Amino acid sequence: MNQLMPLRHLAILCAALSLATTANAGDEEHAKDVTSSDRLRVGLVLGGGGARGAAHIGVLRELERMRIPVDAIAGTSMGAIVGGLFASGMSVDDLETLVAEMDWADAMSDEPERSDLRFRRKQDARDFPVDLDIGLERGRLKLPLGVVQGQKLDLILRNLTLPVSQVTDFDDLPIPFRAIASDIETGEMHVMGSGDLARAIRASMSVPGVLAPVSVDGHLLVDGGLVGNLPVDIVRDMGVDVVIAVDVEFPLYTLEELQSVITVSEQMLTILIRKETLRQIEKLGDDDVLVRPQLGTFGSANFGDIVEAIEPGAKAARDQEPRLAKLAIDDSAFSAWRRQREQRVPRDERLAFVRVEHDSRLSPRVFESRLGVSAGDPIDAATLSSEAAQLHALDVFEKVSYRLVEEDGETGVVFDARAKTWGPSFLNFGFTLEDDFEGATNFDLRARLTRPAVNRYGGEWRIDLRLGTEPQLLTEFYQPLRSDSRLFVAPYIDFDQSNFNAFTDQDVVARLRVSELIGGFDFGTEIANFGELRLGAFRGGGESRVTIGDPTVPNPDFETGGLRALLRFDTLDKPWFPTNGLRADLEWRQSLEELGGDDRYDIIDMSVEAVRSRGKSTVGIGLDFQTTLSFDGAVQDLFRLGGFQHLSGYERGAISGPHAAVAKLLYYRRIGDSPGGLFDAPVYIGASLETGNVWENRTDMSFDSALLHGSLFVGIDSYVGPMFFAAGVGQGGLTNFYLVIGAPPP
């Protein structure tokens, strides 16, 4: 089955970039005269096959060993990737390094590097981890055209083909090239022999449903496997005398292997692809050569072991050496052919202009404030890719890529920013299921509706809904003061309900349900991409009622109002199971009678965590500290402890008071190697050591009265958020078991 090949992340690929070259037109013609005037012209056909297509690299290596020049290439999907990059001037060594060092999971993700994300987007990823972005337009739900839009893949291909980015006729590449795709509207084959090489390769590899289609010249294109997985006739039309066709399709399953709906579905698709492939093979003549690497059941999606496919390709080529030998040329002629592939096209070393072309409401100054590249800067692939990633991290656009263009004899860069086609509003989701296997279950389902780019300054309106154990409804309008400013205002309204245990002499006598409605107005500033500072005022009120236990427990209505200051920052490299970084939330709230509060008092609420890693092991420390100053604390301001990693021997929220603190030491280790790919879900084992308590009086807070708890856990970093199965123990023989799915509850 034809599968997508994810590409290596930018940092390593740029090392290969410097070696990818094209030819001077005059020298190219001379080289062709030298190397092809008295010999058979060779056309190479590279078929699709996902990870199996790495065998193409082995074939290319053997062709070079045999001194067989290639005069034309046609490829589909993986064959288009290998063939297109080789045709652009990339060496076989670079191709092998490329596939061997790929970061599969990262390349198959549209998620920006967390360091590039604005702080608001970092919080989104933590609170709403379900990786599903649903659009909403006039009450109608809309979905993207692919699970992956190809943001990182586009940039990687763009970087790899940068030396030939201004070559619009693929016949002018060091080796003439054709990429095969399918027109998803008509079902017909679409042969790309001109235009943008990076886009052509990307279109040929767009597995339907996985990768979003690519628009090329008014055609919506997907993977070419169904219509031309082995395009023999296409390369024949390029004027070659002999065709070398490399078939890497997945074999048909045996009857014994057809044991599930998945294998049956795969078999049907393979049959459809194979039918067209056999038709193309029938077009091979007596002098043509068919190379079929013996890959067995090596999976089309087995990118974690992709290098294992290279040698079977080389062996299959060696097996055909007696037939291929007639195509070999002498050392001098082959060296001339290689030099022709390795000559560079002169280009301006510096950018003459920088421009952003987009289809959003945003002011150009929004982009200017985010871009770190300008006219006069060197043309550097890594820099241009990084700048495109910065714009994509605004989370307004489906994709942001770049292209070099020539205007009035000068070379500049144009960043293409395409708005999400399934907008203009978007739904994101998160959920939590927490069970201690002793009757205490907490569940919540969270949804966020976001309308980005409400105005040219980047205003954003959001509505949060949480259903379950502790429901919430919150709406906030976030408005930057200027298009190029990090200053903002944020009015909000927040309604939520929480559960608190009431105590008498350390015994729980009742459970209270506290409902609170607050309106507020914040003035703040973003701190680079890692933090946020807010100053604001709030006003509201609420009520409490006994839901379980002693009905005589006081449950008064209350009024609240005052001022607050909130400083938050986050440099963690991942929202869950991070390996490095620091996260902190520091909040001060002052209740003021002048602003409607029942009493005057201050609250300090602090949460800090820091992690460092070595290899697969990570050590972290954390501290939660809350205290109420000048007041014993109203019920709505009590702090709760208990639950996984917050005194794990207790159930969540089991103890509460006006003063609370818990410190923890955390260790976890990733087990096993990452398979890579779209559904990579790393597994961890770990333990925590926790100490803390709640106190009625701040003067009672001490290490002597702190309780000692701990946990052992297995964790999975999944696409719905973290998952934990844990055992918690606490001082006094307390034990708890936890199953936590999704982001832990607030």
CA distances 98 to 61, 137, 238, 302, 615, Å, are 14, 41, 28, 16, 23
The identity of residue 231, as a single letter, is: P
- When pLDDT is averaged across residues 167-182 and rounded to a whole number, the result is 95
pLDDT band of residue 92 (cuts 50, 70, 90) is: very high
**For residues 413 and 403, what is the distance between their CA atoms, to the nearest angstrom?**
6
CA atoms within 13 A on the CB side of 511: 8
- When pLDDT is averaged across residues 362-388 and rounded to a whole number, the result is 89
**For residues 347 and 413, what is the distance between their CA atoms, to the nearest angstrom?**
13
- Count CB-CB contacts under 10 A for residue 159: 24
**For residues 603 and 563, what is the distance between their CA atoms, to the nearest angstrom?**
11
Residue 46: name the closest of 280, 214, 221 by CA: 280
381 against 553, higher pLDDT:
381
pLDDT band of residue 569 (cuts 50, 70, 90) is: very high
Task: Identify the three-state secondary structure at position 32.
Answer: helix
Q: Is the pLDDT of residue 652 over 90?
A: no
Q: Is the pLDDT of residue 15 over 60?
A: no
pLDDT for the residue 679: 55
Residue 180: name the closest of 231, 122, 124, 144 by CA: 231
Task: Identify the three-state secondary structure at position 270.
Answer: helix
Structure tokens at 391: 């714009």
Q: Is the pLDDT of residue 237 over 90?
A: yes
pLDDT for the residue 210: 86
pLDDT band of residue 367 (cuts 50, 70, 90) is: confident
Q: Is the pLDDT of residue 349 over 80?
A: no
Residue 164: name the closest of 205, 199, 190, 211 by CA: 199
pLDDT band of residue 344 (cuts 50, 70, 90) is: low
**For residues 172 and 178, what is the distance between their CA atoms, to the nearest angstrom?**
12
CA distances 235 to 41, 70, 75, Å, are 11, 11, 9
- When pLDDT is averaged across residues 195-199 and rounded to a whole number, the result is 95
- When pLDDT is averaged across residues 327-336 and rounded to a whole number, the result is 93
**For residues 66 and 58, what is the distance between their CA atoms, to the nearest angstrom?**
12
Model confidence pLDDT, tens digit, residues 496-510: 998 887 766 666 777
CA Rg, the chain, in Å?
31
Q: Is the pLDDT of residue 35 over 60?
A: no
pLDDT band of residue 14 (cuts 50, 70, 90) is: very low
pLDDT for the residue 487: 95
**For residues 388 and 371, what is the distance between their CA atoms, to the nearest angstrom?**
8
> Exposed, middle or buried: residue 601 (CB in 10 Å: 0-12, 13-18, 19+)?
buried
pLDDT band of residue 746 (cuts 50, 70, 90) is: low
- Count CB-CB contacts under 10 A for residue 48: 36
Residue 92: name the closest of 68, 116, 110 by CA: 68
Q: Is the pLDDT of residue 201 over 90?
A: yes
- What percentage of the chain exceeds 70 in pLDDT? 91
pLDDT band of residue 310 (cuts 50, 70, 90) is: very high
pLDDT for the residue 680: 66
Model confidence pLDDT, tens digit, residues 244-297: 999 998 877 788 878 888 778 778 888 888 888 999 999 999 999 999 999 988
Residue 176: name the closest of 281, 28, 372 by CA: 28
Model confidence pLDDT, tens digit, residues 694-737: 998 888 888 889 999 999 999 999 888 899 999 999 988 889 99
Q: Is the pLDDT of residue 343 over 50?
A: yes
pLDDT for the residue 145: 87
Residue 708: name the closest of 640, 632, 648, 637 by CA: 648
680 against 366, higher pLDDT:
366
pLDDT for the residue 519: 97
The identity of residue 726, as a single letter, is: A
Q: Is the pLDDT of residue 600 over 70?
A: yes
- When pLDDT is averaged across residues 125-129 and rounded to a whole number, the result is 86
pLDDT for the residue 274: 86
**For residues 385 and 365, what is the distance between their CA atoms, to the nearest angstrom?**
20
541 against 343, higher pLDDT:
541
Q: Are 732 and 741 in contact (CB under 8 A)?
A: no
pLDDT for the residue 139: 84
Q: Is the pLDDT of residue 627 over 80?
A: yes
Q: Give the active site residues.
A: 77, 223
Distance of CA 483 to the CA centre of its chain: 27
Strand segments (E) across 555-638: 558-570, 581-591, 601-614, 617-629
**For residues 131 and 149, what is the distance between their CA atoms, to the nearest angstrom?**
13
Residues sharing a CB contact under 8 Å with residue 107, sequence separation 6 or more, in sequence order: 6, 7, 8, 9, 152, 153, 156
Q: Is the pLDDT of residue 86 over 50?
A: yes
pLDDT for the residue 23: 35
pLDDT for the residue 718: 86
Model confidence pLDDT, tens digit, residues 543-556: 988 888 878 777 78
For residue 209, the cross-strand partners are 146
Query: Taking all residues of the chain, what is their mean pLDDT, rounded to a whole number?
Result: 87
pLDDT for the residue 305: 86
